A and B are shown apart, each in its own frame.
Chain A
């Protein structure tokens, strides 16, 4: 298995632009998590899905953030419009929803909003 795949690896965009981050979880994993990492706040849980259904989005910072999981093999995190304070590394992770096991993380997308 290629692991959790995120794209792009790096994204530089101007303030006000729409940004879409993508994630392909491990085949067979039915839970997917989006985290954001900054020096100041560490790793923050944004949202997670179980069998493509959002379970908890209380970590999504503002209405400018939205996430979807149209099928078991793909999820997107969208920021519209983007702001400089959104600059961070965004990680996607997947796991098995009903088991207490470790998560598999992707390599992350480093987002810079200028």
Chain B
């Protein structure tokens, strides 16, 4: 079963605009991760936010986490055509040991940035 659900399923914007994608999840988490997938490629890790963090930045990426609402958002500022990809949130702490759980991914948001 999948933990995270992204919204919207698809998003089309113009270069230079901001893109916001949302992720909702159902159970308690200790961290949430965002990944990007270009067409025909594997997923690439973008950013990890822990449950005691509310906001995190990495370059043009801004991630927020609201554990009370069980939701996260990924904001890409000043988007470029190269940002065209699918974006996934993942929950589960990711550790493969007895204390952890492997990552579970949502179905993703497909972002299209046109020039």
Q: Give A42 Cβ to nearest chain B Cβ, in Å.
A: 4
B44 touches A45 (CB 8 A): no
Given A45-B104, A91-B42, A100-B31, check contact A50 B48 (CB 8 Å).
no
**A-B pairs with beta carbons under 8 A, tally:** 72
A103 touches B94 (CB 8 A): yes
Binary interface encoding of chain A residues 88-104 relative to chain B, with 1 for a CB under 8 A from any of its CBs, else 0: 00010101011111111
Given A42-B2, A100-B31, check contact A108 B97 (CB 8 Å).
no
Contacts of A32 in B (CB 8 A): 96
Contacts of A108 in B (CB 8 A): 41-42
Q: Give A33 Cβ to nearest chain B Cβ, in Å.
A: 6
Q: Which residue of A lies closest to B94 (CB)?
A: A100
Number of B residues contacting the other chain (C-beta, 8 Å)? 27
Within 8 A of B (CB), among A56-114: 56, 91, 93, 95, 97-108
A105 touches B103 (CB 8 A): no
Which 6 pairs from chain A and chain B are nearest by CB?
A102-B45, A31-B96, A105-B42, A42-B107, A43-B105, A50-B96
27 contacting pairs across A/B (C-beta < 8 A): A4-B42, A30-B96, A32-B96, A33-B96, A33-B102, A42-B105, A42-B106, A42-B107, A43-B88, A48-B102, A49-B96, A50-B96, A93-B42, A93-B43, A95-B94, A95-B96, A97-B96, A98-B97, A100-B48, A100-B50, A102-B45, A102-B94, A103-B43, A105-B42, A105-B43, A107-B42, A108-B41
Additional 20 contacts, C-beta under 8 A, given A50-B97, A100-B30, A100-B31: A31-B96, A33-B96, A33-B103, A42-B2, A42-B105, A43-B107, A49-B96, A56-B102, A93-B42, A93-B43, A97-B95, A97-B97, A100-B50, A100-B93, A100-B94, A102-B35, A102-B48, A103-B94, A105-B44, A108-B42
Residues of B within 8 A of A (CB): 2, 30-31, 33, 35, 41-45, 48, 50, 88, 93-98, 100, 102-108
